[in-house]
C-alpha cells in the first residue's frame, strides 16, 4: 500500500488505526491483547504512576521492564476490584530483576491495604535483593473536613 492508500483506509474505517504502518483495532491495543509491542530501549523516569490504580488489567512485568522509575506510585484502594493487584506488585519484582543494573527504586503506596502489607512481608527479602524500598504512610494530610494518609517525596 502507498501512504495515501493507508491513510484513506484508516479514515474510511474509523475503528481501525495505524501503528507503525500496521492496521490495528484501538480497542484491542492493550498490553494483554496479544499484539506485538515494538521493542525499544527502556525509558528512565523519576516518578511513574502505576496505571489504573495498580490493577492487573493493564500492567504486567513488561511495563516494569520498559518503564524504569526511581519512584512508583501505587494508588489502589479497592479490594473488590483487585486494586492494588498482587500480580502487579509481583510484576514489579519480576520486571526489575531483569534490569541488569541495581538502581534504587522506591514504591509509594497511597493507601495502607492488606494486599500491600502481605506482599511487603512475603517478598521483603526479594525487595532488599533488588534494592526496592517501600515507603509507609506516616503522615496525614487534612483538607477541610477530610484527612488521609500521605507520603512526603523530595527530589
pLDDT above 60: residue 7: no
Q: Please, which pLDDT band fits residue 59 given cuts at 50, 70 and 90?
A: confident
pLDDT above 50: residue 115: yes
When mean pLDDT is compared across 34-48, 53-67, 133-147, the lowest value belongs to 133-147
Query: So what's the pLDDT on residue 65?
Result: 93
Tell me the C-alpha distance between 132 and 128, whole Å. 6
3-state secondary structure of 88: helix
- Is 140 in contact with 148 (CB distance < 8 Å)? yes
DSSP alpha helix (H) spans, 32-154: 51-54, 61-66, 86-96, 114-122, 124-129
- Is 53 in contact with 24 (CB distance < 8 Å)? no
pLDDT above 70: residue 64: yes
Query: So what's the pLDDT on residue 31?
Result: 47
pTM to 2 decimals?
Answer: 0.65
pLDDT above 70: residue 138: no
Average pLDDT of span 80-95: 85
Mean pLDDT rounded to a whole number for the chain: 75
Average pLDDT of span 110-117: 85
Q: In this structure, what C-alpha cell is assigned to residue 110?
A: 497511597
Strands (E), the chain: 17-19, 22-24, 43-49, 67-74, 105-109, 132-134, 139-143, 146-150
Q: Please, which pLDDT band fits residue 155 given cuts at 50, 70 and 90?
A: low
Average pLDDT of span 108-128: 90
Query: So what's the pLDDT on residue 94?
Result: 95
Average pLDDT of span 74-93: 82
Amino acid at each position: 500500500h502507498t501512504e495515501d492508500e493507508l491513510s484513506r483506509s484508516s479514515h474510511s474505517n474509523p475503528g481501525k488505526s495505524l501503528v507503525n504502518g500496521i492496521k490495528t483495532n484501538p480497542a484491542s491495543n492493550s498490553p494483554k491483547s496479544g499484539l506485538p509491542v515494538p521493542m525499544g530501549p527502556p525509558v528512565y523516569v523519576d516518578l511513574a504512576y502505576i496505571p489504573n490504580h495498580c490493577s492487573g488489567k493493564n500492567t504486567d512485568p513488561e511495563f516494569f521492564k520498559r518503564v524504569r522509575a526511581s519512584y512508583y506510585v501505587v494508588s489502589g484502594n479497592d479490594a473488590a476490584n483487585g486494586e492494588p493487584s498482587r500480580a502487579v506488585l509481583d510484576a514489579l519484582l519480576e520486571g526489575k530483576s531483569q534490569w541488569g543494573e541495581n538502581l534504587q527504586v522506591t514504591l509509594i503506596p497511597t493507601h495502607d491495604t492488606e494486599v500491600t502489607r502481605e506482599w511487603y512481608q512475603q517478598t521483603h527479602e526479594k525487595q532488599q535483593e533488588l534494592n526496592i524500598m517501600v515507603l509507609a504512610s506516616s503522615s496525614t494530610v487534612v483538607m477541610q473536613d477530610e484527612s488521609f494518609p500521605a507520603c512526603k517525596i523530595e527530589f
